[in-house]
Amino acid sequence: MIRLSSMRSRLLAGILVPVGLLIAANAHRLYEDALKAIDTAYDRTLLASAKTIGEQLDVHGTRENPQLVSEVPYAALEAFEADNRSRMFYRVTGFQGEWVSGFDDLPAWHGKLPARGAYAALVDFYDDVYQGEEVRVAVLKQPVSGEAGLGVATIQVAETLEIRRTLARQVLISTLWRQAALLAVIAIVVWGVVLFATWPVRELSRSIGARADDDLSPVPMPGVPAELAPLVVAINEAWHRQAGLFAHQQRFVRDTSHQLRTPLAVLKAQVQSARRGDLPLSQAIDEIGATVDGATALANQMLALAKVEQLRQQGDPPRLDLAEAVREVALDLAPLIADAELDFELFTEPAPVRGHAWALRELVRNLLHNALRHCPRGSRLELRVTRSAGFDGGVELRIADSGPGIAAALRPKLGQPFAAGAGGGSGLGLAICREIVGSLGGSLALDNRERDGVITGLDAVVRLPAAPSSETPLPSSPPSPAPSLSP
């Protein structure tokens, strides 16, 4: 649930933060535009006030010395003050720049009329400070004529900015309330949409959480949204692998308890017999040693079978040379080959495959042990590693012995754990081989070799995919037939 809340929070932040920044920028721009529009409207009021003053001007005196006269009382401007929230000031300057009437401390205008104004009058607008307050000032150049002459008077009308800024703030606040309401609607919609969109995720979570600990059955795909399908497929695949591991673990525990029970019971009986003195001490010790050796070999084989499954879960194995593993195993078993006085021939060529070194050696060791167990003394045993053109350019390992082959009745049980053949043993050797070959994506075939209808031996043939040639090549070496080991 924490993740879902985090998802909603992130989505809200991802939407509301940019929208909020846009609204802030838009509000700032709106405030400036509102001030500009209000200035335009109230500037007309200032111009009207200036024209009203200009209409009351007159010229007295003589033509040689005309004097501008203004008899406008301040009360005449009160009609232009808005809601008593602004104050107006004016100043009339004569033809020679002298003060005529109004507020004499209002700063005189020293600007320049615009070349192309927005009004059909000689007027200019500017901002200034008067008596410590910001004011907006309209300057009107008013021609004045009378009997004494004519001239151009300068009329300044100033207004404080309280009403203008108040109106602009009201526009801004009204807009911000609407934008805030819009943000709230967006947040509610996003929250609801995410809640609705993630409903299948919560349902899937509840469904998985309600399962039993050992329930690894696939999650049903019908009804799953397309966006969740890859997740469900990945979960099912992971559970499938986990189910395989659990099944392998249960099978291993079951087989171990079953197969080790017999040698342990025999060992107990032999110890009891030795204590009673039923057999000579040396014979009892020999029998106990043989039982321990058999149990140890069985345990090692079962551990090897479990390790194959462990290696299968480790992902892509490294790129190795099967021929090198074959030569190492053949060298380890050379004393057994010599003791059996076999005519042994080894032929290898570079054979890059994907596999773990332990698995490759265990595969060769089990197959070669099986061949040695069935080869008559002094017979022929051949071991070859070649590149197979008939298996998509793969690698072929062939072990040809001279034993009795496989009876038809035993063939269906080959490779099954604890299904021993005529030669005895635990029956795990071929099972280990089949597990290793299967984990490497290859195949294992056991074929009787016949001549004139008589079985002359058995060919154990392993075919594995060759490692891609695009990878770093293995150290190349020419085919190396080993010297024959013969009596």
CATH of the domain at 293: 1.10.287
Residue 117: domain span: 2-169
| CATH number of the domain to which 82 belongs | 3.30.450
446 in a structural domain: yes
Domain boundary among 169, 187, 212: 169
Token pair, residue 82, equals 């808005």
213 in a structural domain: no
pLDDT value at residue 479: 45
Among candidate residues 33, 138, 148, the one with its CA nearest the CA of residue 90: 138
195 in a structural domain: no
Domain count within the chain: 3
Domain boundary among 282, 312, 342: 312
Token pair, residue 67, equals 């004097």
Position 84: which residue type? N
pLDDT tens for 443-467 read 888 888 888 878 888 899 999 888 8
Domain boundary among 290, 312, 334: 312
Burial of 369: CB neighbours in 10 Å, binned 0-12, 13-18, 19+: middle
| Same-domain check for residues 64 and 108 | yes
Alpha carbon of residue 27 to chain centroid: 38
| Same-domain check for residues 296 and 413 | no
| Same-domain check for residues 253 and 117 | no
| Same-domain check for residues 146 and 241 | no
Q: In the chain, which residues have pLDDT < 70?
A: 1-7, 72-85, 115-120, 148, 248-260, 262, 297-298, 300-302, 304-315, 388-393, 411-429, 469-487
| Same-domain check for residues 145 and 87 | yes
222 in a structural domain: no
| Same-domain check for residues 423 and 386 | yes
* Tokens 């190492």 sit on residue: 328
pTM here?
0.47
- Do the bridges between strand 454-464 and strand 443-451 make them parallel or antiparallel, or are there none, so unpaired? antiparallel
| Same-domain check for residues 144 and 271 | no
470 in a structural domain: yes
| Same-domain check for residues 295 and 376 | no
202 in a structural domain: no
| Same-domain check for residues 257 and 356 | no
d(CA 255, CA 462): 27
| Same-domain check for residues 29 and 119 | yes
182 in a structural domain: no
| CATH number of the domain to which 447 belongs | 3.30.565.10
d(CA 150, CA 143): 7
177 in a structural domain: no
pLDDT value at residue 399: 92
- The three state secondary structure string of the chain is CHHHHHHHHHHHHHHHHHHHHHHHHHHHHHHHHHHHHHHHHHHHHHHHHHHHHHHCEEEEECCCCEEEEECCCHHHHHHHCCCCCCCEEEEEECCCCCEEEECCCCCCCCCCCCCCCCCCCCEEEEEEEECCEEEEEEEEEEEEEECCEEEEEEEEEEEECHHHHHHHHHHHHHHHHHHHHHHHHHHHHHHHHHHHHCHHHHHHHHHHHCCCCCCCCCCCCCCCCCCCHHHHHHHHHHHHHHHHHHHHHHHHHHHHHHHHHHHHHHHHHHHHHHHHCCCCHHHHHHHHHHHHHHHHHHHHHHHHHHHHHHHHCCCCCCEEEHHHHHHHHHHHCHHHHHHCCCEEEEEECCCEEECCHHHHHHHHHHHHHHHHHHCCCCCEEEEEEEEECCCCCEEEEEEECCCCCCCCCCHHHCCCCCCCECCECCCHHHHHHHHHHHHCCCEEEEEEEEECCEEEEEEEEEEECECCCCCCCCCCCCCCCEEEECC
| Same-domain check for residues 303 and 324 | no
Position 364: which residue type? V
| Same-domain check for residues 260 and 159 | no
Among candidate residues 54, 44, 128, 119, the one with its CA nearest the CA of residue 80: 44
